Chain A
Amino acid sequence: MGFGRYVTARVLWAAVVSLIIVTITFLLLSAAPNPAVQRAATQAALQGGDPAEAAERVRELRGLDQPLHVRYFDFIRSVYTLDWGWSVSRSQPVMEAVTQALYYTAQYSIPWTILTITLGPLVGVYSAANMYSWKDHAATGFAFFGYAIPNFFFGIILLLIFGVWLEVIPVIYNTSAPVFSVENAIQLSVPVFVLVTGSIGAVMRVSRNESAEFQNADFMKTAKAKGVSPLRAYAYHVMRPTLVPLSTTLVGQLLALFLGSSLLVEVVFGIPGLGRLTYEALLAQDTNLVLGTTLFFTFVAVIGNLLEDIVFTVLDPRISYDDR
């Protein structure tokens, strides 16, 4: 199988997977009682009307009296044309709610991800190069501290110190600050710091242990014997093989670029992002919005898997298309 055919097959498979997910969602939804119908019945009962009649009216209004296959095709059409309905808990279209939230999430998750995947391996290799020195212990201590302290708690503490006591960052997140502005950089600095310290530990520890293996490898000895500068030796001869096993997680983390929303950090810093959107939709039993956010995450995961598979074959020529 050539590369082109392989990619085509994978794309088709992704489409099938998404269709299966949407179909299952539809079946689950149609089996569950519809909250709008229940609300109408309840309302009618409260006002002395006939609950059954009110429920019937809503059913008609929403096309729920149509046969299953008609509703199914309607549903598929709306899902793929991005007509995801109205969010009752926010009084806006679901698509608008998701894109709005994504806009705020991306503003902290992009710097967070970039910092994690660049700083993590760097600190790890540095740590390995100075193994068992105080520098290594300091870096390890830092990694474990960030990993161990809960993000929301760390966030509150930092907000207290820098927001309330020192008053260098605002306590209330300003949604109207321009994306590329000093004000926005300042208000996002602490959330990003909290998230980076929380996620850098794992990457750093893996790269430290991986690179420890290569420090005394033959090719390192040769490089040193040839008089290669330490920086170059580490960058070319240690960092590169270290990144191979890490790349699997790195690809996943790159995917999380837009989605790595953190509910707790959003709550603490008052950022109206995807995490809060999903959580509040669940609490408010806002079916359309729950469905919208779930489908959104699902689609991104499907696309992510597709990209990952393709990227693997590009990165590593040894992987053949034949057995796939």
Chain B
Amino acid sequence: MPRRNIENRDDSRHIGRRQWLSALGLAGAVTLAGCSGNGGDGSDGSDGGGGGGGEVEVPDFPRFGVGDLYGSEVARNLAREAFEESEYDYGFDGDVMVNPEGDQVEIDIYHSAASETNQLLAEFIAQELENNLGISVTPEAIDGTRFSNEYYSGDPEGGTDTVNGEEVEWSNPGPRNPGPRSVTSNEAWDMSVNFGLNTYPLNPLTNQTFFDGANANFNPVGYYPQFDVESLFEQARQATSRDEIRQAFVDIFANLAREQPYIMLTLGDDIIGYNPDLTGPIENFSNGWDLPAWHIDDPSVSGSYDTVTGASFNTLNPLYNNESGAGTAIERAIDPGYTFDENQEYFPLLYDMSTEDGEVWTFELRDNLQFSEPYGQVTAEDFVYQIQEVQQADWANTADSDSWEGVEVEQTGELEFEATLETSNVLWPQTYDPYLYPIPRALLEPYVEEEDVAGLQQDEELLELQFSGNLGPFELEEWNRGSGTEYVRNDEYYLRDIDEGPDLFSEGPLFEEASISVVQEQASRLGALETGEADAAAIPPEQYESYSEDDNVTVRQVPTPYNTIISVNQRANGWNTGPGNMFQLVPFRQAMAAAIGKEELIQGVYRGLASSHFTWQPRWSEFYPSTDE
């Protein structure tokens, strides 16, 4: 399943494949259990070894929030630096931070109305900022979608502004980066913990989307980098090996740690409870990539694999889906082009990808892929047609259309085609941009001729995945919009005939049936897990202990790439407690980071099930600069 860039912390619905936030994942994480993800190194994320790169020289990263960079004194000293930098007369009156009028600084922090953990987090932050910086912070609950629409995005206007003494133009404004700091969202806000961001452990180059100031796709907070982010990313982009990329990223990570564009707090794991008789789940980022080999008791075909999720699916049309939960539901019935195995190595499903120079990529399809009748065999033509006539067409507005911008595609054989990128990218598969589902050409043709986007979105064969043939482990039997999906085993599954992968693939999947039930109430989801009605369900951290002692449940910590951060609004409608905007000043953001005790946060809110976040990368990532441990 492609990783979304953002996770909404309240219903765990990943808002868009091309977006950048994450939600608490309590509901959605369940479905992650059954889908392929990016690779990990097998560590549990809290004390992982940090992949490779011992020879890389690493400066001392600031570790705000722990040791001597934590506490009232260091936070206040940093805040004083910020006061000096500010043109307004902020200061301390005794223990209390005051604005130029002499009133205590009062700011709001938004948190998800639907997540208790998120609320606890906001309350903890409020308490720490009060104690260590003398700021009065009011937590406010809000629905994640509403926050995203009204507060976290604005009308794209563009414009120019002075950044680091240079005139900079916002030449490609979008809702998540509508323009310079003067361009704001509809609603004013100070701080928020509603969203976490993807750190892109497989391909950290993608992080440019957050930090490239005026050019960033995603900059709702109005961050202006004070280092030359563009050339550092350019340097990393030029790299021809992973080592070079790793080397190039040390500077980027060090600068981000210093500037705290978002106040970095923790990196957490999804905690998932499984049926104890289930063999297959691993505590790895790619947990679920080998689902066809999972089984209960003996490795023979029997029973049903049932999971629960909190959010219902908007669509199962593979061309228009942009949610991870629905992605899992789709991938029960149709495999995507590739996945990553437990060593985070590329694993070909429908097609293998290879390149010499990172610029021209060859896709080789397997020869035993069949659509349902009347569509026949899956050929390169189906993919090329889909890319050229739908993904790259202006009218179609598919979920992944921007993945294919500027990519030239050409069919070179019945089962082979080539894609030429504008610039070389040795980690192209890791971006999930070339991640495709097969769709029969004949199914698409009528809509392409008419340029009928509504028809394509509403096509029943696409919505019900009726063309899936032998392309997935199960066949979709029913999609009940309110209650979820039900599947039966696909006896013709192509994966049984491949040479790669675990031996059990030759018999997979090892269940007669499968289902994904939409159950909104968390207590009901957990109840279903306990009684065995569900084989997997996400567990909130506050209940980790009770479930890890429960014989009916096996609890696993599955690393995720999403972090926990405070978004601080550096735009003109942020900092609503007085003149100016202190969030724009690096020392002030550092002061906030230093005022929030990471260890206390991890113990108090996450029950020890998270690790502190200093580097914009999880510790198990191969790009994590290990010597700052």
Is B517 a contact partner of A45 (Cβ separation < 8 A)? no
Query: Is the Cβ of B483 less than 8 Å from the Cβ of A167?
Result: no
Give min CB distance, B388 to chain A, whole Å.
17
Min Cβ gap B444→A in Å is 17
CB-nearest residue of chain B relative to A57?
A: B395
Q: Is the CB of B478 within 8 A of A176?
A: yes
Q: Are B482 and A276 in contact (CB under 8 A)?
A: yes
Q: Does A104 contact B (CB under 8 A)?
A: yes
How many whole Å from B268's CB to the nearest CB in chain A?
Answer: 25
A101 pairs with B528, CB closer than 8 A: no
Task: List which B280-328 residues lie within 8 A (CB) of chain A.
Answer: 308, 312, 314-317
Chain A residues with CB below 8 A from B317, complex form: 91
User: A171-B527, A175-B482, A267-B520 are contacts. A90–B314 as well, Cβ < 8 Å?
Assistant: yes
- Taking a contact as CB atoms closer than 8 A, the residue among B401, B402, B481, B524 that contacts A270 in the complex is B524
- Check A45 against B483 for contact (C-beta < 8 Å): no
Write out the residue numbers on chain B whose beta carbons fall within 8 Å of the beta carbon of A175: 480, 482-483
B174 touches A46 (CB 8 A): yes
Asked if B533 and A172 make an inter-chain contact with CB atoms under 8 angstroms apart, the answer reads yes
Q: Which of B454, B481, B533 has the most CB of A within 10 A?
A: B481
If A171-B528, A268-B521, A270-B519 touch, does A46 touch B481 (CB 8 Å cutoff)? no
**Which A residues lie within 8 Å of B172 (CB)?**
48
A260-283 vs B, CB cutoff 8 Å, 1 = contact: the mask equals 000000011110110011001001
Residue of chain B at shortest CB distance from A104: B482
Known: A45-B156, A47-B402, A90-B314. Is A267-B482 also a contact (CB below 8 A)? no
Could you tell me the distance between the alpha carbons of A105 and B18 in the complex, rounded to whole angstroms?
Answer: 37
Alpha-carbon gap, A270 to B397, bound state (A)? 34
Q: Does A160 have its Cβ within 8 Å of any Cβ on chain B?
A: yes
Alpha-carbon gap, A283 to B486, bound state (A)? 25
State the Cβ distance, A296 to closest chain B Cβ, in Å: 16
Contact with B along A42-64 (1 / 0, CB 8 A): 11011111010000000000000
| A111 at interface by CB-CB < 8 Å | no
Which residues of B have CB within 8 Å of A100?
480-482
For residue A310, give the distance in angstroms from its CB to the closest CB of chain B: 35
Give chain A nearest CB distance to B416 CB in angstroms.
29
Determine whether the beta carbon of A268 is less than 8 Å from that of B478.
Answer: no
Per-position 1/0 for B209-242, Cβ under 8 A of A:
0000000010000000000000000000000000
A75 lies within 8 A of chain B by Cβ: no
A269 CB contacts on chain B under 8 angstroms: 524
A214 and B510 alpha carbons, distance in the complex (Å)? 70
Minimal beta-carbon separation of A39 from chain B (angstroms): 9
Complex alpha-carbon distance, A219 and B481, angstroms: 58
Q: Are A172 and B308 in contact (CB under 8 A)?
A: yes
Which residues of chain A have C-beta atoms less than 8 A from B174's C-beta?
42, 45-46
A109 to chain B, nearest CB (A): 15
Is residue A72 contacting chain B, with contact meaning CB distance below 8 A? no
Known A-B contacts A176-B478, A272-B483, A284-B145; the reply to A91 vs B521 at CB < 8 A is: no
How far does the alpha carbon of A270 sit from the alpha carbon of B401 in the complex, in Å?
Answer: 35
What chain B residues lie within 8 Å of A47 (beta carbons)? 401-402, 405
Q: Which residues of A contact B524 (CB under 8 A)?
A: 156, 159, 171-172, 268-270
**Structural contact, A45 and B534, CB atoms closer than 8 A:** no
| Category for how many chain A residues contact B | 35 or more
A170 with B533: in contact, given A46-B217, A156-B521 (CB under 8 Å)?
A: yes
* Pick from B173, B314, B401, B528: contact of A45, CB under 8 Å: B173
Q: Is the CB of B458 within 8 A of A91?
A: yes
Residue in A closest to B515 when the chains form the complex, CB atoms: A172
Q: Which residues of B contact A42 (CB under 8 A)?
A: 156, 174-175
Give the residue of B145, B149, B528 whose beta carbon is less than 8 angstroms from that of A172.
Answer: B528
Closest CB in chain A relative to B460 CB, distance in Å? 9
A173 to B483, CA, bound (A): 8
User: A163 and B482 in contact (CB under 8 A), knowing A42-B175, A91-B457?
Assistant: no
Q: In the assembled complex, how far is the CB of residue A166 from the closest CB belonging to chain B, in whole angstroms?
A: 10
Q: Is A216 an interface residue (CB 8 A)?
A: no
**Complex interface: chain B residues within 8 A of A92 (CB):** 463, 481
Closest CB in chain B relative to A154 CB, distance in Å: 13
**A164-B531 contact given A175-B480, A272-B481, A276-B520, CB 8 Å threshold:** yes
Min CB–CB distance A302 → chain B (angstroms)? 27
In the complex, what distance in Å separates the CA atom of A92 from the CA atom of B482? 12
Contact with A along B480-521 (1 / 0, CB 8 A): 111100100000000000000000000000000000011111
A255 to chain B, nearest CB (A): 24
Give B405's nearest chain A residue, CB to CB: A47
Contacts known (A160-B523, A163-B527, A172-B533); A89 close to B314, Cβ less than 8 A: yes
Instruction: State whether A172 touches B523 (Cβ < 8 A).
Output: no
Please name all residues of chain A whose beta carbon is closer than 8 Å to the beta carbon of B397 when the two chains form the complex: 40, 43
B314 and chain A: residue at smallest CB distance? A89
- Nearest Cβ distance between residue B421 and chain A, in whole angstroms? 17
CA distance A42 to B157 in the complex (A): 11
Among A47, A91, A156, A285, residue most surrounded by chain B Cβ atoms (within 10 Å) = A91
Given contacts A90-B481, A91-B457, A270-B483, contact A46 B402 (CB under 8 A): yes
A86 lies within 8 A of chain B by Cβ: yes
Enumerate B154-193 residues with CB–CB distance to A below 8 Å: 156, 172-175
B481 touches A97 (CB 8 A): yes
User: Which residues of B sit under 8 angstroms from A160, Cβ to Cβ?
Assistant: 523, 527
Q: Can you name 12 A-B residue pairings with CB atoms under 8 Å?
A: A45-B174, A46-B175, A86-B454, A91-B316, A91-B458, A92-B463, A172-B519, A172-B528, A270-B517, A270-B520, A277-B482, A284-B145
Given contacts A48-B172, A270-B524, 14 further A-B pairs with CB under 8 A are A40-B397, A42-B175, A91-B314, A91-B481, A104-B482, A160-B527, A171-B519, A172-B517, A172-B534, A175-B480, A268-B521, A270-B520, A272-B483, A284-B314
List the 7 shortest-distance A-B pairs measured between CB atoms, nearest first.
Answer: A272-B482, A45-B156, A171-B528, A91-B315, A171-B527, A164-B527, A90-B481
